Structure 1
Amino acid sequence: MERTMGVEEEFLLVGADGGPVAKASEALESSETARAVASPHGKGAGALETEFMEEQLETATHPRRGLSDLAGEIRAGRARAQAAADRVGARVAALATSPLPFEGTTVPSLRYLEARARFGLTAREQLTSGCHVHVAVADDTEGVAVLDRIGPWLSVLLALSANSPFWQGEDSGYASFRSQVWARWPTAGPTRAFGSPQAYHDSVAALVATGTVLDQNMVFYDARLSARYPTVEIRIADVCLEADTATLLAALARALVETAARETADGLPAPELHTELLRAASWRAGRSGLSEVLLSPRTWRPVPAHDAVGELVAHVREALADSGDLDDVTELLGRLWAGGDGAARQRAWLAEGDGDARHVVERAVAATHA
């Protein structure tokens, strides 16, 4: 099948002082751009939406086959979010955590308020912004076979997207501290191999039956079957500082899904998954991003980040070539290596601004719309 891909991005709304501002609902109420664009894949594709916090806006692309079409829509979504923010005197920044201290304001929906009451500080501090990539699958059988094969590679996607070094006004020491905050949720993180759609759905039902989470939408696996679309949803990444990196992430995610589907069709067995190793690999990626070592998805031994990314590209090279994405991915990776991941750039901007986090936000706003 010719696989479509779509991207959801969450952004911070920031004010003139660089700090998060609780104006998402107001921005959408005053903006015609919040209306959903009709899509055969479901209501909401192409729309602006609120997220868990009033200090956030979320965009979503339509399903796209061509990488250039997707890149254009990612940029258009960022512009659409800024147009809504303009109406309330705010700006949109692709920052996965705020460089300045904040107190999050939960969107006043019954579901979100219930989550805030049930999960306490975990919910109150959940002002984090991620990037989710949806890749089309034929059905749940193919989708679960994909989930059972892509787990070892997801930590590399996190490292590529790492864009959250600061937390409550301090350097966290992590490239993706969002991943640490997100890991507080009881259902977040890597999963075992399921083997069948029934086993997958049973695992989701069992978690909901514990009464720990509100519903199946709070099963926050790093990658899961979408409850709304016929897709695998890869959820591990930070929101990317630049649209180019989000485009790169989508291309690699689609190639991972296609490679896994081909392995299934060829009768190759799924790898043996050890969730403790998957979790360690994700922690390592969140700690250092592209600046130090990662765990090799093949050997689970530390290797330079460049080598781990090279392993990923080699793994999906045939799928990238067949989709026509290989040259674009090579170019986008070259730009990312040259400029550094989002975390490295934010730290450089902090030094450039003599330790003033407001300078980081200013530079981030510009990069968001570059």
Structure 2
Amino acid sequence: MRTVGVEEELLLVRSGSGQAISIAPQVLRRADLAAREHDADDDRPGPGHPAEAGSSLGGELQRQQVETDTAPHRTMEALGEELVAWRSHAEGAARREGARIAAIATSPLPVEPRAGESDRYRQIVERFGLTGSEQLTCGCHVHVSVDSDEEAVAVLDRIRVWLPVLLAVSANSPYWQGRDSGYASYRNQVMGRWPTAGPPDLFGSAEAYHRFVEDSVASGVAMDPGMVYLDARLSSSYPTLEFRVADVCQDVRDTVLLAALSRALVQATSARWRAGEPVPQVRTQMLRLATWQAARYGLSGELLDPVTSRPRPAADVLADLVEYVRPALEEYDDVALVTEGVARLLTDGTGADRQRREMERTGSLSDVVAAAVRTTHGLEGQDHDLTVAQLRA
């Protein structure tokens, strides 16, 4: 059974206003102290000091965000439990610093990002100018285990046409610097500024893929392999294929849905590769159009068909994805989870839809952030009228 791990980038927001706040170092110190105190009182590993490698809470490019990283899991239930635990652990540390944790992919309120303390982050900002200094976005990266680099590239060549659908599922960034961007995922537009970002080309072999990465670094544009920001790529740290196209999801159930679809895509396309089925011959330029369409409308309009590149209702394209991976979903016993998750998304909307509904209801971007905090921690069914000012406690 293929394992799945997830990295979530989360926004730190000030209690009482909802503005992004640059206190990641303080929050991480608080989280580490809490983990050590837990370990001193309990022999069982707690958040921050897990038994299994790959599970952690750390910093990111900007000080207004932190990143959680789960261990690899075989079941979606276990993955969901760890995602909830890390969000809770980060929230506990943030609250001690007068902040909250929000799973939103861009800050709805105006913000001036501040780069993290590492030399690499400072070099990125210095080298890439405004592209680096303005880059405050929160993504969700799903790692699915693969047997070899050859399998990973064969899968990458086949999943690339479905990546815009995963972006639409996760869309959660309609606001940018206090304004409605007009997009469901403006994070995707911001990521597009990077010279190494976007849909992957067809590679055909592991050798060709690694040559591309080497050439990108040798060009002097990409500082290192970690700066190859493709929408999906071979991980440089783990034996996994890394899906990078998605916004961070407000609702942890949507994160689990995204992970289940990603794993099923790897399993389904690997089976097609082994059976000798041909790769879909879709030009990268058309994938860029499909990605733009998904970023613009999410699931609220039309998506481009993965094969024909013609617009179709988003619900129909999403249904095609589920049908395409159904054998893998059945193999992993994830059919019910995905069916229910898709129905919930089509009924309740994406994170972008949630944000816009809250803005229409209250007229306040601060309350948009407050609602996102509630959803981040599974509280949306409680205290429905809670405002951001009431989140001080």
On the 8 A contact 1:150/1:257 being kept in 2, the answer is yes
User: Which residue matches 1:329?
Assistant: 338
Q: TM-score scaled to structure 1, two decimals?
A: 0.97
Counterpart for residue 8 of structure 2: 9
Q: Which runs of 5+ in 2 are unaligned?
A: 36-46, 379-393
The equivalent position to 2:205 in structure 1, one of 156, 177, 196, is 196
Q: Secondary structure of the residue that 1:252 maps to in structure 2?
A: helix
Contact 2:27 2:93 in 1 (8 A): yes
**TM-score normalised by structure 2 residue count:** 0.91
CA contact (8 A) 2:280 2:307 kept: no
What SS does the aligned partner of 2:202 have?
coil
In structure 1, distance between residues paired with 2:315 and 2:2: 28
Aligned to 1:305: 314
Contact 1:13 1:57 in 2 (8 A): yes
**Alignment correspondent of 1:37:** 50
1:364 pairs with one of 372, 383, 393: 372
Match of 2:38 in 1: none
1:96-245 matches, within 5 Å, as: 96-245=105-254
2:12 is paired with a residue whose SS is strand
User: Which residue matches 2:72?
Assistant: 63
Residue 269 of structure 1 and its aligned partner are, at CA, apart by: 1.6
Q: Is the 8 A contact 1:134 1:232 kept in 2?
A: yes
Q: What SS does structure 2 have at the residue aligned with 1:234?
A: strand
Please give the alpha-carbon distance, in whole angstroms, between the structure 2 residues aligned to 1:36 and 1:178. 31
Task: Verify the 8 A CA contact 2:196 2:229 in the aligned structure 1.
Answer: yes
Deviation string 1:81-107 (CA, Å, 9 cap, x unpaired) is 112212211100011001100000100
The residue type equivalent to 1:357 in the other structure is L
**Runs of at least 4 residues of structure 1 off by over 3 A?**
33-36
For structure 1, the residue ranges without an aligned partner over 5 or more in a row are: none
Q: Per-residue deviation at 1:36? A: 4.4
TM-superposed deviation, 1:344: 1.0
RMSD across aligned positions (CA): 1.0
- Residue 253 of structure 1 pairs with residue 262 of structure 2: yes
Contact 1:36 1:48 (C-alpha < 8 Å) held by counterparts: no
What does 1:344-359 align with in structure 2 at a 5 Å threshold?
Answer: 344-353=353-362, 355-359=363-367
Contact residue 161 and residue 240 of structure 1 kept, 8 A = yes
Shift of 1:214: 1.0
Give CA-to-partner distance per residue, 1:262-282, whole Å, 9 cap, x none.
Answer: 011111121113100111000
Provide Cα deviations, 1:264-306, integer angstroms capped at 9, x if missing partner. Answer: 1111121113100111000000000011100011221000110
- Contact 1:134-1:233 within 8 A present in 2 as well: yes
User: What amino acid maps onto 1:366 in structure 2?
Assistant: R
Q: Distance in 2 between matches of 1:326 and 1:298?
A: 24
SS in 2 for 1:207: helix
Letter in 1 for 2:376: T
CA distance in 1, matches of 2:93, 2:55: 14
Over 3 Å counting, the alpha-carbon distance change for 1:98 and 1:312 in structure 2 is same
Question: Kindly, what percent of the aligned residue pairs are identical?
Answer: 50
Q: Is the 8 A contact 1:192 1:273 kept in 2?
A: no
